[in-house]
């Protein structure tokens, strides 16, 4: 960075880059960038400095130099295994795929040359376009990919790529920077699900970001009309609220178009991972202290239900357990539809009702955050984990309460995260959203069957108290209320109405970025 931006004179610029290349050889990739952008003296100076420093190192430390350059091929494997996840280079990725020997070396050279040629051509183009920092970032991304071993500091080249502008729409401008920051700062398991099929992506997510930036992410040229004046975002007309101070956040206006899919999937995935981790870490768990607290709270809830004459859990649980097909149905319903139905509703809204999607998604997010607070401060044993009450665990069978083992769930979830019930809360959210937006009365009726079946399943299987469902309904209502309070009433537009909105203005008539239409 000093050599490209701060050094005065081409020789001093090349001297700095040459010293950097002596410490990390792939920095020498900046020499072609200098050469093809007209700074040829700097390119020659960097090469000469690199050669001189390397020869000096051979003279001073011949054994170490032999180990570095020959035995470990420019440092590959020094300090850690070259196939370790820390090595986010093409070499490391090929080794993780099980390739080795001449085949791996040949494939690495071919792929490395292709990435270097494409990436440096794009970097030269951006430098000539006046985007020198982006050119430096792309060259750094090439260095990440082609280095035998990618050291930790090299990965900063990927982070610098956030300066590139991607997308002609104003609403798309955040996608690339957010994606890069998430990739560089969060564990890969937060970004992708923990399935074996996702391992190749999860293990190489930083490399994928580097190669994408270097080779095909469509960064805008400064000469493009949308570089400074992207297509403005279309907003729905405000709907009058019942209270004068609503919305509290006037800038959070109703957008007519659907959000960028990549950004939305990233944020939903990260949010769901955070939900899982907070739920797992919430006070409770299966240790003796947490169990005692959760069972004490369970006794409180059961006593309150008896006082209110709504303690129907034991009767329903035993009645269902005696009917094989009914027990199987509720077990299946409990395990299968908790996540699938909300994701399906979100997907349909995203495609068919984008203006309503954001409103519904925000309400669901607020409800989930409020539920996490409940899990943290009020760990609660569900009926099936109250041994003195005689409930039947229809899902897991008889349990040894001295050593509770709920299969894989023990390591993945907090069994005492029961109040409020998000099984019922999310199902109620689905039913309400469809009932509000569906055009046909029979669609609304079918939608409301989902929360009805869900509350029946959570009680029949012994997984929740009736008051847990009340808590789930409360957080969902609060989620809709917070959405209304902060951003006002939802936009009264259907998918068809959105498509009839006026198209974006021609390039010559576009407003400056950040300027809002009246």
Domains annotated for the chain, with CATH where assigned, are: 2-227 (no CATH), 261-397+407-498 (1.20.144)
**Coil, strand, or helix at residue 64?**
helix
Q: Which two three-digit tokens encode residue 323?
A: 């009917």
Per-residue pLDDT of the chain (518 residues; tens, 9 = 90+): 888 888 778 889 999 999 999 988 889 999 999 999 999 999 999 999 999 999 999 999 999 988 888 877 766 667 678 888 888 999 999 999 999 888 988 999 999 999 999 999 999 999 999 999 999 999 999 999 998 888 888 888 899 999 999 988 888 888 899 999 989 988 888 888 777 888 888 899 999 999 999 999 999 999 999 999 998 888 888 788 888 888 888 878 788 888 888 888 888 888 888 877 777 776 544 444 577 888 899 999 999 999 999 999 999 999 999 999 999 999 999 988 888 999 999 999 998 888 899 899 999 999 999 998 998 888 888 998 888 888 888 877 655 555 555 443 444 466 788 899 999 999 999 999 999 999 899 999 999 999 999 999 999 998 999 999 999 999 999 999 999 999 888 877 644 444 444 444 444 444 344 444 33
How far is CA 392 from each of CA 283, 385, 405, rounded to the nearest angstrom?
A: 25, 9, 15
Q: Which two three-digit tokens encode residue 428?
A: 């109620």
Q: Which two three-digit tokens encode residue 210?
A: 């580097």
The Cβ-side half-sphere exposure at 352, using a 13 Å CA radius, reads: 10
Note the pLDDT of residue 245: 84
- Nearest CA-CA partner of 448 in 433, 434, 431: 431
- Nearest CA-CA partner of 389 in 469, 309, 289, 317: 317
CB atoms within 10 A of CB 352: 15
Q: Which two three-digit tokens encode residue 335?
A: 């395990």
In sequence order, which residues have a C-beta less than 8 Å from that of residue 457 and are 6 or more positions away?
Answer: 330, 331, 333, 334, 423, 463
Note the pLDDT of residue 509: 40
Beta bridge partners of 235: 255
Residues belonging to the chain: 518
Q: Which two three-digit tokens encode residue 190?
A: 């937060």
């Amino acid at each position: 960075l000093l050599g490209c931006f701060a050094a005065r004179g081409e020789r001093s610029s090349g001297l700095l880059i040459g010293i950097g290349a002596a410490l990390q050889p792939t920095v020498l990739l900046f020499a072609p960038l200098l050469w093809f952008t007209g700074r040829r003296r700097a390119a020659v100076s960097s090469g000469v400095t690199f050669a001189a420093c390397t020869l000096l190192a051979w003279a001073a430390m011949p054994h170490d130099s032999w180990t570095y350059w020959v035995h470990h091929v420019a440092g590959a494997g020094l300090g850690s295994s070259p196939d370790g996840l820390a090595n986010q280079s093409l070499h490391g990725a090929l080794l993780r795929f099980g390739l080795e020997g001449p085949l791996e070396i040949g494939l690495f050279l071919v792929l490395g040359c292709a990435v270097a040629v494409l990436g440096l051509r794009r970097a030269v183009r951006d430098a000539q376009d006046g985007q020198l920092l982006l050119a430096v970032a792309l060259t750094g991304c090439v260095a990440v990919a082609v280095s035998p071993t990618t050291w930790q500091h090299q990965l900063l080249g990927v982070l610098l790529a956030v300066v590139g502008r991607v997308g002609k729409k104003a609403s798309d401008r955040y996608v690339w920077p957010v994606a890069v920051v998430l990739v560089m700062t969060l564990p890969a398991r937060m970004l992708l699900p923990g399935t074996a099929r996702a391992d190749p992506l999860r293990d190489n997510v930083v490399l994928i970001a580097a190669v994408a930036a270097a080779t095909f992410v469509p960064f805008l040229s400064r000469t493009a009309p949308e570089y400074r004046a992207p297509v403005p975002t279309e907003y729905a007309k405000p709907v009058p609220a019942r209270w004068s101070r609503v919305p509290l956040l006037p800038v959070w206006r109703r957008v007519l178009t659907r959000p960028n899919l990549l950004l939305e999937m990233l944020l939903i995935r990260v949010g769901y991972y955070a939900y899982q981790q907070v739920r797992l870490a919430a006070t409770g768990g299966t240790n003796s202290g947490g169990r005692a607290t959760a069972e004490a709270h369970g006794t409180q809830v059961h006593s309150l239900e008896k006082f209110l004459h709504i303690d129907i859990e034991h009767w329903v649980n035993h009645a269902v357990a005696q009917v094989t097909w009914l027990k199987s149905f509720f077990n299946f319903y409990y395990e299968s539809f908790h996540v699938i139905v909300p994701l399906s509703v979100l997907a349909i809204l995203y495609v068919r009702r984008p203006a309503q999607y954001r409103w519904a998604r925000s309400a669901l997010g607020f409800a989930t955050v409020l539920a996490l607070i409940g899990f943290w401060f009020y760990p609660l044993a569900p009926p099936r984990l109250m041994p003195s009450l005689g409930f039947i665990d229809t899902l897991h069978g008889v349990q040894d309460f001295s050593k509770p083992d709920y299969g894989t769930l023990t390591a993945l979830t907090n069994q005492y995260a029961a109040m409020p019930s998000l099984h019922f809360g999310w199902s109620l959210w689905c039913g309400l959203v469809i009932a509000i937006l569906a055009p046909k009365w029979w669609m609304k009726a079918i939608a409301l069957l989902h929360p009805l079946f869900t509350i029946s399943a959570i009680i029949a299987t012994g997984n929740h108290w009736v008051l847990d469902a009340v808590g789930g309904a409360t957080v969902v209502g609060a989620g809709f209320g917070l959405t209304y309070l902060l951003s006002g009433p939802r936009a009264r537009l259907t998918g068809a109405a959105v498509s009839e909105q006026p198209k974006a203005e021609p390039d010559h008539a576009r407003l400056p970025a950040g300027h809002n239409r009246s």
